[in-house]
Amino acid sequence: MKAKIRNRITLNSLVILIILITATTFTSILSLELTHGIGLLLKNNNTLKSIRDSLDNTHKHLETYLTFKNSESLKEYIKWSSTLESLIPSLNNRIYNDKLLLMERNLYSVLTQYLKTTSTAVNAKRGRNIPVYTAEFEHAVSMVESAHTILDTLHLKNMNRSLYAFDFFKEKFGEIVFINFTLIAIAFVLSILIIYRYSFAITVPITLLAQSARELEIGNFIHSIPQYAHDDEIGTLYTAFNNMQKSIKDAFEAIQKKSELEQQVLVQKMEMLEFQHKLKDSELLALQTQINPHFLYNTLSAGWQLALAEHDERTAEFLQKLAEFIRYALKPANRLVLVSEEVDCAKNMSGY
């Protein structure tokens, strides 16, 4: 027996699973892609925000240091200026024919110059060179203002450009979401169809087999089940069922034959009994035949003559009537008689 149905069920389940996994994976990848896209759109703004935070903190601690000259502010200034310095390379420094990139280049220049200026201011403060650090600080303030202006402009322009790109993205996003839902729906319908198809493929032959079993149950041995072409578990079941049907049919036919034979024997026995009965009757008849009525009549007639000779008329009459009675009685039993004959016989017997 080949386990094809089991293999098919396993295979179909795997197909359904693969369809669902594919649809889900596809949907997940698309969702991730969309999220990634939005992340990219906002990446520049995030970088700008980090730059602004670093710049503001650098400037705040610079101002505190230049005002109070405390080491804590200096440490903070160094920390934030280092952060700012590490962020600057993420900005464009080349000249392109793109207004955003040019604006980034402006920011790059301003921030680079700002860090140089603040460094000079800090060194001047350490050297107690008041005019220099005051002038450098004023210059730094001007550059912070410029940087803020650029950051605000860049934020706005980036956001506008992001929104423009997002509008396009959103349009596609809606379509992609719709398609994903469609894909999931198709995967679902496809899975249902595959399940239905194979459950149908399995249950239909079994149902037909059950119908055949019911026919067999009511003794319809000539009912034949449809052909099942596949060599699988159901095929094996069909073969077994066919064999069983054939066996039952053969057994039934054998019983039927035996019964017929027994009937024939019985009939023969009955015939034998009847024959024996007839034989007995024949024997009886033979015995009856053995009694000679004429002898009896002659005897009775001799008695009658004797009685007459003796003038015994009553005896003579008796013997005459007896003789008539016996003659009547010995007539064949199956002949038709007249009622008057029967009455006469009775009268003879009673002496009338």
Give me the residues that bind other proteins (CB under 8 A), please: 19, 23, 26, 30, 33-34, 37, 40-41, 43-44, 94-99, 101-103, 105-107, 109-110, 113, 142-143, 145-147, 149-150, 161-162, 164-165, 168-169, 172-173, 175-176, 179-180, 182-183, 186-187, 189-190, 193-194, 196-197, 200-201, 204-205
Q: Choose between 197 and 277: whose C-beta lies nearer to other proteins.
A: 197
Nearest distance from C-beta of residue 261 to other proteins, angstroms: 46
Name residues whose C-beta falls within 8 Å of residue 6's C-beta, 6 or more positions apart in sequence.
Answer: 233
How many Cα atoms sit within 13 Å of 80 on the Cβ side?
22
Q: By C-beta, is 167 or 260 nearer to other proteins? A: 167
Residue 108 contacts residue 93 (beta carbons within 8 Å)? yes
10 Å Cβ neighbour count for 120? 18
Indicate the residue among 98 and 281 with the shorter CB distance to other proteins: 98
Residue 41 CB, nearest approach to other proteins (Å) = 6
Placement of tokens 């000079």 in the chain: 120
Choice between 3 and 189, CB closer to other proteins: 189
Query: How many whole angstroms separate alpha carbon 1 and alpha carbon 17?
Result: 27
- Give the type of residue at 139: H
CA-to-CA dists, residue 224 to 208, 236, 249, 257, 289, angstroms: 10, 16, 12, 23, 68
Enumerate long-range contacts of 3-9, CB under 8 Å, 24 or more apart: 3/232, 3/233, 4/230, 4/231, 4/232, 4/233, 5/202, 5/232, 5/233, 5/234, 6/233, 8/198, 8/201, 8/232, 9/198, 9/202
State the nearest-atom distance from the C-beta of 263 to other proteins, in Å.
Answer: 47
- Residue 76 Cα distances to 49, 69, 112, 317, angstroms: 19, 12, 19, 177
At how many degrees (to 10) do helices 99-126 and 130-217 cross? Answer: 130
Contact 180, 26 (CB under 8 A): yes
Nearest approach, Cβ of residue 230 and other proteins (Å) = 10
Closest distance to other proteins from the beta carbon of 194 (Å): 7
In the bound complex, what is the minimum distance in angstroms from residue 245's beta carbon to other proteins? 21
Nearer to other proteins, 81 or 191 (CB): 191
Show the CA angle centred on residue 297, arms to residues 291 and 301, nearest 5°.
150
CB 182 within 8 A of CB 27: no
- Give the nearest distance from C-beta 30 to other proteins in angstroms: 6
Min separation Cβ 246 and other proteins, Å = 24
Q: Nearer to other proteins by C-beta: 35 or 67? A: 35
C-beta of 79 vs 161, nearer to other proteins: 161
Task: Quickly list DSSP for 141-165.
Answer: HHHHHHHHHHHHHHHHHHHHHHHHH
Q: How far is the CB of 186 from other proteins (least distance, A)?
A: 5
Which CB sits closer to other proteins, 181 or 275?
181
Neighbours of 339 (CB within 10 A): 7
Nearer to other proteins, 236 or 320 (CB): 236
